[in-house]
Amino acid sequence: MEMEMEFLRKLPTPQELKEQHPVSAQIVATKAKRDDEIRDIFEGKSDKLILVIGPCSADNEDAVIDYISRLRTVQEKVSDKIFMIPRIYTNKPRTTGIGYKGMLHQPDPDKAPDSRYIHRGAMNWDRAAMSGNARTVEGKLNKRLLQLEKIRKTEKAFMTNADTWTVDTWDNSILCIGRYYEGEKIYGLFNFSEYDKTAWINERDGIYKDLITGQEMEAAGVNVPAYGFFWLKKIN
């Protein structure tokens, strides 16, 4: 199966970020001085106490800056006894997953409280309109999605109450999921790497058919193309 992918941008490395947003020599010197003070406290060379303090679920930049400015005033008053380390947390871990997640995972508090908005940008309706043209990337993706939707609706092994398990492929970039329901068995093989890979599974219990391409094969030592996948159904 051939897939076309468009990479919108590459995330910068920490070193690249430092080069893009350089700080002054004064700030570098100040940080080095404070690092030495913290080290002395932990190593017992200083009698000061360390106080890690700051807000959780910070969601307002102006409010955070105001808080830190006020905290600095307090720090100056107790600098002979306490060394304060500001702690600004932009996430909000939730045991149940319900509620505001913080500005990192939910920049807009008015949107749904989940992580989908990190990965979903604004809808490009001009490109969406091309989904009916089979010669475009959008059209090819739409055609494939409709095919997958049809397969999921017709195959028993995709029922929500099917038995589900994972199979070791001996390659961290390949995921294999098995599903079984009322005598029907399917293995999903997914290659998340940019290279063609071999899934070293060894399910030699019959012949399998890829529900996408119709190709028949054994579910053993399966070659999966880069960013490709198979839905292998046991047929005999």
Residue-wise pLDDT tens digits, 190-200: 999 999 999 99
- What is the per-residue pLDDT for 18? 86
Residue 121 belongs to a domain: no
pLDDT tens digits, 148-181: 999 999 999 999 899 999 999 999 999 999 999 9
From residue 103, alpha-carbon distances to 52, 53, 79, 84, 111 in Å are 21, 19, 31, 24, 11
- What is the per-residue pLDDT for 228? 94
- What is the per-residue pLDDT for 124? 82
Cβ 133 vs Cβ 126: under 8 Å = no
Average pLDDT, the chain: 86
61 versus 222: the higher-pLDDT residue is 222
Does residue 34 surpass a pLDDT of 60? yes
- What is the per-residue pLDDT for 1? 46
Cβ 148 vs Cβ 155: under 8 Å = no
Least confident of 2-11, 14-23, 75-84, 204-213: 2-11
Domain that residue 212 falls in: 156-234
- What is the per-residue pLDDT for 13? 87
Residue 1 belongs to a domain: no
- What is the per-residue pLDDT for 125? 86
Residue 134 belongs to a domain: no
Run of H or E residues at 35: helix 25-42
Q: For the domain that residue 224 is a member of, what is the CATH number?
A: 2.60.40.1180
Tokens of 62: 């102006």
Residue 37 belongs to a domain: no
Residue 72 belongs to a domain: no
Residue 40 belongs to a domain: no
Strand ranges for the chain from DSSP E? 49-53, 82-86, 163-166, 174-181, 184-191, 197-210, 216-224, 229-234
> Structurally, how many domains does the chain consist of?
1
Cβ 100 vs Cβ 109: under 8 Å = yes
pTM over 0.85: no
Neighbour tally for 161: CB within 10 Å = 6
Residue 120 belongs to a domain: no
- What is the per-residue pLDDT for 12? 82
The mean pLDDT of 10-14, rounded to a whole number, is 81
Residue 229 belongs to a domain: yes
Banded pLDDT at 55 (limits 50, 70, 90):
confident
Rounded CA gap, 212 and 117, in Å? Answer: 30
